[in-house]
Chains A and B, each alone.
Chain A
């Protein structure tokens, strides 16, 4: 230990022991376990007055809990449910929730605090050692169990009568199949349902907010309009299922800004319609940045360039948003010229 060689002897523990009065006899092994230290008494152990004070503190906490429970019941019957109160720093909050929660919390907490204080100050705090025993069985027990097992196995004849063993294993293997088969009717088979939406040739684009069919003039540059196919109403039984695929996002771009040839072909006067359902895991895309024509999914931040075939420019989405081919009917309303050419929403194995 070269670094310690210069240390003056005075500062070494042995030297200090001599200077100090503690001339303890050096144990055989200085690292040996000295055994449990003697118990140190608490003030409550030696002073009955202190113990009494602890007792009163515990009793006070229990009594406070009782008061809080009464308060809970009082709040339950007397506080109006729609009342809100101002509590600093929380602001305006429900009076009922606050009063019930606080009284219940105090009632419970005080029981706990009383019990813990009781245990810590008045119950014995003498540490007691207890022996551990090996978890594994003794060799005799192990031998006996193994012998019993062999005996049992032999008496069953399982090893000898192979026919029984094999048919039993077969039966036990097959029987859970019934349970698996029973799960079949959890749902229909996918078929091609993920490939089709409620859009069809001639279906009008209906504004989601106003429930009116859209005209090209309703869609101005820079705005983001959400649309659904005509005939799909909120009260419909399958509205949720259909809108989960058919939800549409409409923006108007300057036709010269559209970089993608097909996008331009499928648009009408710069109005383009894209599926609103993100191709990553299916969140509805709802943020549009008009300067850059970027649409952003707020769930996982996949970003699509609506001026360039809605290709992915950032984030975890794997492919562009499907575009809906649109035109204008005789009455001047925007209409679909067919269903989406590819499945909308998240990719799946059969998508191809």
Chain B
């Protein structure tokens, strides 16, 4: 056996101009060790389709990067300790006041570190953008059906990121140990106490004893800067990997099929656009942080369990849980020396249910349709009226609870009675999603009918024509084939025909409860009246080809 000591021939050997450039030689060297060329072959010229809504996820990604960059900077100055110290910093109105080291160091960052306030505000604003971006991105994916096979797992990753993002936000918000966030932590403690059997134990373990104790800032700190971001980083990497691996979804259109992806290559177009977009997002958030104060802890003051300010609000992403707790009647059941605090426990249970209901949706829809195929063409929301209706119902529920979470602000700003708002939210919690579902579905069906008319009768041209006998009519222009294709490209499911199966002797078997439910749901999604049949070629031919056939 001979040992071959020569390197592989350089890929650039074809060049007659002599030696490869330094960069190229470095790339060759790296490839020999890390195999980067095989990786680049599939990804460097990866095709991404273009649509404004695909940019929402990018905003989220970039705000996450911004949060990490600014967060690392903040850790250099922040002291996660609850030891009481007297303030001696440069903010005069607070000098001599007792506060925790956490609050003191946040004051130090805000007033004595040059640019510290800016980084703090960028961090906080980026966190709000991060969560708002995830919410909107999730809705984009939901309403276009981008969660369908093969992307269900990626939907779950994204959904987990949203939930972890909420808790990372909450723990970070609590770190300065200011009066507002401390009140939020107290709320959390009260909620934990409501957990049957183990509530007090959980609370004592979390706070290292009685509230507030001297531990929670340090504990929240490690959760906020290490545990949760670590998990999120892993999920984010998996999320992005799957986006690359699955290749991005695209809208229906000429030349765009379920078997291809049409767009521009990663290098150079998306490297420039996406890379540039990072700077755009960072730049905009910096400007916002320059002109808009967020969480002015110097105006709020350090936390004291016996003090509170009016208008106490969590950050927006926690608002819906706040709404749940505010509008719930204060039910308490006492029995055998125990208390079941339903008034807090029920909101505490509905909170995850609201989130889980959207998280499991892709699996429910897949079960109803029974569709095992891959879907890479996005649905227009109108073409899935029931799904769109459910999505809007979910958002409506979320928004109603958000109103509940800010009921005091709505009352003071709109001069309304707080009792009236509370009752509105209580009723709205049940009624508003139903109304939203029905209205949305009607709108979707109306839009489907309009698409159908457009395909069959053409576009309204705006040209009014007078006929010889005096009648005025509007001329309709036929659509180009591209448009016809686009408006008819979607698939329409039939309601699942679940007949009682017969056994070998022809005796009908009984349907299971699950099968019955599925058939019922399937009818709700796809039966006549729940979607408008798209025009067929035959219908089109009949209407358009005729000379006097009408």
**Partner-B contacts on A (CB < 8 A):** 1, 4-5, 7-14, 16-17, 26-27, 29-37, 76, 81-82, 87, 90, 93-94, 96-102, 104-116, 118-120, 123-132, 134-136, 183, 186-190, 193-194, 208, 226, 228, 234-235, 239-241, 243-245, 247, 276-277, 280-284, 286-287, 298-302, 312, 314-319, 345-352
Contacts and interface: CB of A to CB of B under 8 A. Distances in A.
B8 interface: no
A187 B341 contact: no
B118 A104 contact: yes
A112 B195 CA distance: 49
A302 B204 CA distance: 25
Interface of B: 46-47, 84, 90, 98, 111-112, 114-115, 117-118, 121-122, 150, 183, 186-187, 189-191, 193-201, 203-213, 215, 245-247, 254-255, 257-265, 268-270, 272-273, 275-287, 289-291, 293, 303-312, 325-332, 334, 336-341, 343-344, 374, 376, 407-408, 418-419, 422, 455-458, 465, 467, 473-478, 481-482, 484-485, 488-489, 537, 539-541, 543-548, 550
Given A17-B478, A283-B187, A283-B308, 6 more contacts: A31-B540, A99-B290, A105-B289, A190-B201, A317-B343, A318-B330
B95 to A, nearest CB: 14
Contacts of A189: 201, 204
A12 B47 contact: no
Contact of A302 (B262, B330, B477): B330
A281 B265 CA distance: 54
5 contacts: A4-B457, A4-B543, A33-B257, A240-B213, A244-B306
Contacts of B475: 11, 16
A183 B201 CA distance: 12
B332 A34 contact: no
Contact of B304 (A90, A129, A240): A240
B226 to A, nearest CB: 17
Contact of B477 (A16, A93, A284): A16
A124 B473 CA distance: 45
B432 to A, nearest CB: 20
Contact of B544 (A12, A277, A348): A12
A286 B308 contact: yes
B478 A13 contact: yes
Nearest to B267: A123
A118 to B, nearest CB: 6
B344 A244 contact: no
Contacts of A350: 200, 337-339
Contacts of A127: 255, 262-264
Contacts, number: 400
Contact of B199 (A187, A284, A349): A349
Contacts of A282: 186-187, 189-190, 211, 305
A99 B291 CA distance: 10
Nearest to B322: A300
A285 B329 CA distance: 18
Contacts of A104: 118, 283, 286, 290
Contacts of B84: 235, 239
Nearest to B290: A101
Given A30-B540, A34-B482, A283 B183 contact: yes
A186 B215 CA distance: 9
B269 A119 contact: yes
Contacts of B285: 105
B115 A100 contact: yes
Contact of A281 (B122, B191, B311, B489): B191
A130 B261 contact: yes
Contacts of B117: 94, 96-97
A318 B341 contact: yes
Contact of A316 (B211, B330, B473, B550): B330
Contacts of A126: 264
B308 to A, nearest CB: 5
Given A101-B289, A112-B280, A280-B190, A8 B467 contact: yes
Nearest to A297: B308
A243 B212 CA distance: 10
Contacts of B258: 132
Contacts of B189: 281-282, 346
B246 A37 contact: no
B277 to A, nearest CB: 6
A48 B307 CA distance: 69
A41 to B, nearest CB: 15
Contacts of A82: 90, 111
Contact of B277 (A96, A99, A116, A240): A116
The 9 closest A-B pairs by CB, nearest first: A101-B290, A281-B190, A115-B276, A109-B283, A13-B478, A36-B255, A112-B279, A112-B280, A244-B305
Contact of B290 (A100, A243, A312): A100
A70 to B, nearest CB: 16
A319 to B, nearest CB: 6
Nearest to A99: B290
A299 B187 contact: yes
Contact of A13 (B122, B211, B476): B476
A235 B86 CA distance: 10
Given A243-B304, A349-B338, A35 B284 contact: no
A95 to B, nearest CB: 11
Contact of B341 (A4, A118, A277, A348): A348
A274 to B, nearest CB: 13
Contacts of B207: 187
A30 B344 contact: no
B112 A29 contact: no
Given A115-B273, A186-B205, A97 B550 contact: no
